[in-house]
Amino acid sequence: MKNKRPFSKDILIIEDIGAECERIVTGIRENVLHRLHRIGGVIGISGGIDSSVSMALAAKALGTENLLGIMLPEQDSSGDSARFAQKLADKFGVKAITENITGALKGFGCYIRRDEAVKKVLPEYDPDHYKMKIGISNSGLYTNLPPLFSLTIVDSKSNQQSKRLPPNELRQIEAASNFKQRCRMSMLYYHAERLHYAVIGTPNKHEIEQGFFVKNGDGGSDIMPIAHLYKTQVYQLAHYLGIPNEIIERTPTSDTYSAEQTQEEFFFQLPFQQMDLLWYAFKNGYDPQEVGIVMDRTADEIEKVFGGFERKIKTTEYLRMPPLSF
């Protein structure tokens, strides 16, 4: 690659953050108004860093009076999510409403279908007395074997039990849980259509490229203003835009299962700072030897990580595909 900068831990820092911010703001405005022909935007806000930065950018682009923030909690959501989301909306002067989707999810049988699969693996599970989550083994990143999912249940005394998830139960738990993101998408479109607004999606670069989203769920929107940014860069923008510190300092979670779970243990296997650098190195064709020196890993380990990335791209391609026609 021509003029490729030496690989370093600072390689992702955006040098002119103000200019990047302005470029995104202009992009939102131009695309919403002149390509999508909508007069404003709706955005799901969770109190997480991605939706917070996306909301702040959209507010600058469209004006606070043309933006609606929607909190979409359900019975498993953390109370912190609503509190932080409201704080964010208040700070930026954006109107925020709450749409609790628990009733819709019960209608779909989301919880019953999920719990049925959980009980098949750990029969003592009772949703009234246990919390649950699924996660992956973090031994998977430096080997050629993909990680396996396990189920964890936690009782009221914080005693945990975990078991490897067989394929049928894993698929049922994931499929049932995905009702959550798809319900949220439906509700966002209800308000968008009612107001003649566009739905502003909030995934970042990793989530899209590694397939950490639900097809036609949080992957369903009209415009994705931070889809080109690494998480490190999203944080850089957060500081620049004045996102509240509690949100910036919060550990990214999936907020999908009743037991607490970080995005790292559910999907990424590494803290985002390391994942960002490795992903950048992989996407930009850096030599594993050079990357290994910076990341304090062997070239062989880095090659295995890159192999895992290739596998992830290949196996999640289906999520990024538009409906096929022929």
Rounded CA separation 2/243 (Å): 36
Torsion, Cα 226 229 232 235, to 10 degrees, reads: -20
- Judged by CB under 8 A, the residue of 5, 95, 106, 311 near another protein is 311
Find, among 74, 165, 54, 57, the residue nearest to 120 by Cα.
165
Q: Give residues with Cβ within 8 angstroms of 296, minimum separation 6.
A: none
Find the shortest distance in angstroms from Cβ 4 to another protein.
25
**Of 80-88, 152-160, 165-173, 287-295, which part binds another protein (CB under 8 A)?**
165-173
- Judged by CB under 8 A, the residue of 149, 189, 240, 280 near another protein is 149
CB 223 within 8 A of CB 36: yes
- Judged by CB under 8 A, the residue of 138, 144, 160, 245 near another protein is 144
CB 215 within 8 A of CB 319: yes
Rounded CA separation 145/98 (Å): 42
217 binds another protein (CB under 8 A): no
- Judged by CB under 8 A, the residue of 9, 284, 310, 320 near another protein is 310
146 binds another protein (CB under 8 A): yes
96 binds another protein (CB under 8 A): no
- Judged by CB under 8 A, the residue of 5, 9, 106, 164 near another protein is 164
**Of 50-58, 167-175, 216-224, 239-247, which part binds another protein (CB under 8 A)?**
167-175
**Of 35-43, 124-132, 270-278, 311-319, which part binds another protein (CB under 8 A)?**
311-319
Nearer to another protein, 59 or 165 (CB): 165
Rounded CA separation 68/58 (Å): 10
Nearer to another protein, 95 or 171 (CB): 171
Nearer to another protein, 103 or 166 (CB): 166
**Of 80-88, 144-152, 213-221, 240-248, which part binds another protein (CB under 8 A)?**
144-152
CA-to-CA separations, 86 to 47, 72, 82, 288, in angstroms, rounded:
8, 12, 6, 44
Backbone phi, then psi, for 114, in 5-degree steps? -65, -50
Find the shortest distance in angstroms from Cβ 143 to another protein.
5
143 binds another protein (CB under 8 A): yes
Rounded CA separation 90/92 (Å): 6
CB 251 within 8 A of CB 271: no
Find, among 49, 46, 71, 69, the residue nearest to 59 by Cα.
69
**Of 41-49, 60-68, 112-120, 159-167, which part binds another protein (CB under 8 A)?**
159-167
118 binds another protein (CB under 8 A): no
- Residue 41 neighbours by CB distance under 10 Å: 30
Nearer to another protein, 241 or 319 (CB): 319
Q: Using CB under 8 A as the criterion, which residues of the chain lie in contact with another protein when the complex forms?
A: 136, 140, 143-149, 164-167, 170-171, 307, 310-312, 314-315
